[in-house]
Chains A and B, each alone.
Chain A
Amino acid sequence: MTDTADTDPFAELLPGGLVLLEHWQAPEISVQRTVKGAFRHWLEQFQGGGPEPGLDGPEERDDLPALADEALDRIAPPVERAMAPARLGDELRRALDQIRSVSHSALNTVAIVAPPFCGVAPALAALADLEDEGWRVLPAPPHRRLTATEAHRWWSEQDLSGRWVIPELAHYWLRHPDGLALVSALFERLARAGAEPDGSEGLVGCSSWCWQFWTRYLPTGLPLHAFTPAPLDACRLGTWLQGLTLSAAHAPLTLHHRRDTAPVLPRPSDAEFRPGGYLRELAATARGNAGVALELWRHALRAVPDAPESGQLAAQVASLDDLSLPAVPPDPSSSLGFVLHGLLQHDGLDPDDLAACTGLAPVTVALSLDRLARARLVVGNADGVWRLTALGYPAARRYLQGWGFPMDAF
């Protein structure tokens, strides 16, 4: 955390710090919201996943004017900026120190398990940039499919002494019979090191979907102490979003829901903040996931039609029900589900690895990715790696849950 964090509670980057994995709980959701969400999901499935977005993007369901990009970025910066890896990495380090101070066990290796879009992997990668900490980032292997002998050889070539970091374990394996050796070999080494501590300290970032697979694959338990960022409940979420607004706008900004006069976010002067229904819904819809909540929040911000043009920021908040969110198109063949699940388990994959992981033909993978991209559920980067979008994550998760896929705990 930077100096501002000590003076400004709104600038906290890891609200709630790290908690034990078993202590994580999803924010409470109202019955009304559950029923409404389930009905909407069913309706979308029945109607065929909703309308295809046009060239200008999907039309919103409300009649509020869109907020200019510049104003939007000032009020709610994009996820990459809001969760600046270096700052979040610093915050993680502080949380880890806190864990060490209260833990009574020999803490050789710690896993930070987090759902997608929480910004943990880039933050862990940024730990290496911290001065005088001595953290070393282990590079991901060039190939994920290795034999057991090759995997052991690869690990023996890595320097696991001192302080080392694996930013994302999901990049070290492939859901394929030949793709499990590297992580299996790592766990074997960690288990042996745990029995005979050598003073080294490891930090392993792990996507919650990857963690789910490996805890099932190795049911005797993984040789790591698992922590996770505390879920953003409505109160923490409100404070965090207000902090982003303050740091970006440099001036107090009061945001109102379009149908309500009460401010959505806490004022800096509020001694005790009681979050309203909107924040509770937002926290529950995002399941306490900071990245998803921020993306939904950005999507909900609208311009104020009769705002004075004095250069002062003004915005209002659209209802979550009015947002046009991505929906998974119906697919009787399960291909879309396999692709989504594969992408989540590996924190993104290129089409070749995706084909090997899902067992689908390359043409089916390409068609599925195209369909999911048009539905704004996935996006490819310059390296040809496809990932889910934060905005599409809730719909993808609900879809996978509905079709019986193994789910993460978040």
Chain B
Amino acid sequence: MEQGTEALKNVLAAMTSQALLEAFLVVAFAALVILAIQKVLPGIAARIGGKPRLYLLASVPLLRLVVIVVTIVVVVPILIEPSFENMVAVFGAVGLALGFAFKDYVSSLIAGLVVLYEMPYRPGDWIEVDGYYGEVRSIGTRAAEIVTPDDTVVVIPHGRLWTALIANGNDGSDDLMCVAEFHLAPGHDVGLVQARLRDAAFTSPFTKTHKPVIVVVAHRPWGLTYRVKAYPLEPRQQFQFISDLTARGDEVLSHLGVEWATVPLATNV
């Protein structure tokens, strides 16, 4: 331990002010590059659609990681002699300090690296974590930001990766299944209703007709529930899509004269 402290002292003593200035300039330049990447690429992605948008968004955290790694590789030799002893001394001391003082922070940082490797979520994905559902807007070093449908930004530390269940709706692709539900009273032609609801979904301009369009039906205490499952052109259109499916479904069901189910309200006694 004492040897390590002595080595660290020697390393720090060998640093010159000029080296510190050079290292600062390199870090500042890297920060600017990262800032530019985080601003420009999402800006371009907002103007395009489909898969290119997702690829562009997903490249942001990867490019940032590359810049960080390159910066470390450049800065370390500027500050210290990159010998084995010096490396052990510096990184050992830094690791020890961070481990004790910023345990959760470091956990999130490491989880951030795992996120880039395992990719449980990427920018552009629609995820649900701890009851919050939204589109991943950015993946930072420590946390991810999601934007909910109500335009609220929720910051989720990557550390939640270790314990929380993460549901990912599109998992890096632009295919996100949406479901519109219809609750109907019994006593109607089930096959006809299924066919007409399928027509309603197939004719929505939002529908990806090259993906499956499915109508499933199930008995419920109040009658029958139809669930129309289809894919919108863009995951971002999911709420407009479900609204459109609902409106079109309502219209065809009204023409068929099918009665809606009336669900008794639960009351607390």
Does A402 interact with chain B (Cβ within 8 Å)?
yes
Pair B48/A180 contact, Cβ less than 8 Å: no
Pair B251/A404 contact, Cβ less than 8 Å: no
Does A344 interact with chain B (Cβ within 8 Å)?
no
Chain B minimum-CB-distance residue to A184: B199
| A404 CB contact (under 8 Å) in B208, B252, B255 | B208
A-B CB pair tally, cutoff 8 Å:
65
List which A237-292 residues lie within 8 A (CB) of chain B: none
Pair A406/B210 contact, Cβ less than 8 Å: yes
Proximity string of chain B (188-227) to chain A, C-beta cutoff 8 Å, 1 when within and 0 when not: 0000000010011011111011100000000000000000
Pair B50/A404 contact, Cβ less than 8 Å: yes
16 A–B pairs (Cβ distance < 8 Å), ordered by A: A45-B47, A45-B48, A175-B205, A179-B203, A180-B203, A212-B209, A216-B209, A217-B209, A342-B205, A359-B205, A402-B50, A404-B51, A404-B208, A404-B233, A404-B234, A406-B209
Q: A212 vs B237: C-alpha distance in the bound complex, in angstroms?
A: 22
List, in ascending order, chain B residues with CB within 8 A of A42's CB. 48, 52
Q: How many residues of A are in contact with the other chain, CB < 8 A? A: 28
Q: A178 vs B234: C-alpha distance in the bound complex, in angstroms?
A: 25
Does A338 interact with chain B (Cβ within 8 Å)?
yes
Pair A403/B49 contact, Cβ less than 8 Å: yes
List, in ascending order, chain B residues with CB within 8 A of A337's CB. 233
Does B125 interact with chain A (Cβ within 8 Å)?
no
| B174 CB contact (under 8 Å) in A175, A213, A404 | A404
Proximity string of chain B (75-109) to chain A, C-beta cutoff 8 Å, 1 when within and 0 when not: 00000000000000000000000000000000000
List, in ascending order, chain B residues with CB within 8 A of A358's CB. 205
Pair A406/B208 contact, Cβ less than 8 Å: yes
Does A330 interact with chain B (Cβ within 8 Å)?
yes
Does B248 interact with chain A (Cβ within 8 Å)?
yes
Chain A minimum-CB-distance residue to B174: A404
List, in ascending order, chain A residues with CB within 8 A of B209's CB. 212-213, 216-217, 406
Does B244 interact with chain A (Cβ within 8 Å)?
yes
Does A154 interact with chain B (Cβ within 8 Å)?
no
Q: What residues make up the interface of A, taking CB atoms closer than 8 Å to B?
A: 42, 45-46, 175-180, 212-213, 216-217, 330, 334, 337-338, 341-342, 357-359, 401-406
List, in ascending order, chain A residues with CB within 8 A of B200's CB. 177
Q: A175 vs B201: C-alpha distance in the bound complex, in angstroms?
A: 10
List, in ascending order, chain B residues with CB within 8 A of A406's CB. 208-210
The size class of the interface chain B forms with chain A is 20 to 34
Minimum distance in angstroms from A410 CB to a CB of chain B:
15
List, in ascending order, chain B residues with CB within 8 A of A46's CB. 44, 47
Minimum distance in angstroms from A35 CB to a CB of chain B:
14
Minimum distance in angstroms from A47 CB to a CB of chain B:
10
Q: A357 vs B205: C-alpha distance in the bound complex, in angstroms?
A: 8
Q: A177 vs B10: C-alpha distance in the bound complex, in angstroms?
A: 79
List, in ascending order, chain B residues with CB within 8 A of A175's CB. 203, 205
Q: A250 vs B107: C-alpha distance in the bound complex, in angstroms?
A: 81
Pair B205/A404 contact, Cβ less than 8 Å: no
List, in ascending order, chain A residues with CB within 8 A of B244's CB. 359
Q: Which residue, of B51, B203, B208, B251, has the highest number of chain A Cβ atoms within 10 A? A: B203
Shortest beta-carbon contacts, A-B, top 8: A403-B49, A216-B209, A404-B233, A338-B205, A404-B50, A177-B199, A406-B209, A175-B203
Minimum distance in angstroms from A365 CB to a CB of chain B:
12
List, in ascending order, chain A residues with CB within 8 A of B233's CB. 334, 337, 403-405
Minimum distance in angstroms from A173 CB to a CB of chain B:
10
Pair B203/A341 contact, Cβ less than 8 Å: no
